[in-house]
Amino acid sequence: MSRHTHLATALLCIGLMAMSTACGTGRHSTGTPDNWVTITNGQLWLTPEGDTVQAHAPGFLRQGNTWYMVGEDRGKEYNPDVNLYSSTDLQTWHFVKKIIRNGVTSPDLGTKRMIERAKILYNAKTKRYVVWCHWEASNYGASEAACFSSDRIDGDYRLEWSGRPMGIKSRDCNVFVDNDGTAYFIATTEENQHLGLFRLSDNYLSAAAHTQLFPGQQREAPAIVRLGNRYFMFSSACTGWAPNQCKLSWTDDLHRGWSDLEPIGDSKAFRTQPAAILEIRGTRATTYLYVGDRWKDPTLAETKTIMFPVTFTDTSCDFQYRDSFQINFKTGEWREKR
Ligand code: GAL
């Protein structure tokens, strides 16, 4: 393609994006002039260039109108790198950068690590981007975490720390940032027995305090969201790649008082495992989107990222899969597909 053709294509894309938020996506995103974007589940996400989006067990960070997503690049199946993508509609994902290269970003830690569930945070005090992940050996015996940071979201991430947080064996994980900026790393601890809530240091680079939650209840894939003064958590049982019942728990104090685990949705979480809960706050409403992985569909690299709106009540949640739905990023509303 000549430079002029590139320019013409780019201008055409910008023009089309004004009307429709999709431009060449493999996800059939169909934004309309009134700002409704259709999200369709069950298919592989493709970048505008036609590459499969490799960011499994994703973590998200929103900056302005841009969503950033980090996740496992399962192109290499068991020794993933971590990729970074960006999007303005959660549908058209642009590849930004491979931010962690297995065996390259931290050569001293070897090339055989399984980097799972990478999650990204922004620390407003230090102005650094921080990535926490599960940093595992091939037999899951290491039970370690790792933390990387960079001064730019698409910069050079350096290893800050790896090991067992506060000496505690740690596997499946997520992060959560509270309204006051306090960040937590939450991980399945001590041979998948409990969940460990680790309050991070002010710079988010190390674990500073530990509270054990759900002792002996063998939960993993935790995802937390705060609504008002209440915290809700989705989690799954520990059944490897096979999906299982998603359960909900809530509390008004992150460190204690979590309600009994309540089964929600169908018995297999609609063939997913939780990765994140996104908040879409608009001029008229706030919609919460569940994000889960449909692992090995059928291969690890073809794992699908599934999203659907969930509605929280005081103590429960309507958790209902939809093949497709529409979301309005301006008003924050969602509706059935029209
Ligand atoms: C799942 C876990 C994944 C991965 C997998 C390996 O239970 O959520 O992140 O660790 O097991 O079998």
Nearest CA to ligand 1 atom 7: 240
Side-by-side strand order, sheet with 170-177: 170-177, 183-189, 194-200, 207-213
Q: How far apart are CA 21 and CA 294, in angstroms?
A: 25
Nearest CA to ligand 1 atom 12: 240
pLDDT in tens, 95-153: 999 999 988 888 877 788 899 999 999 999 999 999 999 999 999 999 999 999 999 99
pLDDT in tens, 60-81: 999 999 999 999 999 988 999 9
Record the tokens describing residue 217, joined without a space.
Answer: 């209840």
- For ligand 1, the distance from its centroid to the CA atom of residue 285, given in whole angstroms, is 34
Nearest CA to ligand 1 atom 6: 240
- In testing the pocket of ligand 1, which one of 138, 294, 295 has its CB within 8 Å of the most ligand atoms? 295
Q: What is the pLDDT of residue 32?
A: 52
Q: How far is CA 62 from CA 15, 142, 214, 278, 295, in A?
A: 24, 32, 30, 10, 25
Residue 239 neighbours by CB distance under 10 Å? 13
Which among 258, 267, 215, 208 is positioned nearest to 236, based on CA atoms?
267
Q: What is the pLDDT of residue 191?
A: 98
pLDDT in tens, 168-178: 999 999 999 99
**Ligand 1, closest atom to CA 238?**
7
220 lines ligand 1 (CB under 6 A): yes
333 lines ligand 1 (CB under 6 A): no
Which among 299, 297, 267, 248 is positioned nearest to 75, based on CA atoms?
299
240 lines ligand 1 (CB under 6 A): yes
Q: Which domains does the chain have, with CATH numbers?
A: 47-336 (2.115.10.20)
DSSP SS3 for 13: helix
- In testing the pocket of ligand 1, which one of 82, 172, 271, 297 has its CB within 8 Å of the most ligand atoms? 172
User: Do 168 and 210 form a contact (C-beta atoms < 8 A)?
Assistant: yes
Say yes or no to pLDDT of 6 above 60: no
241 lines ligand 1 (CB under 6 A): yes
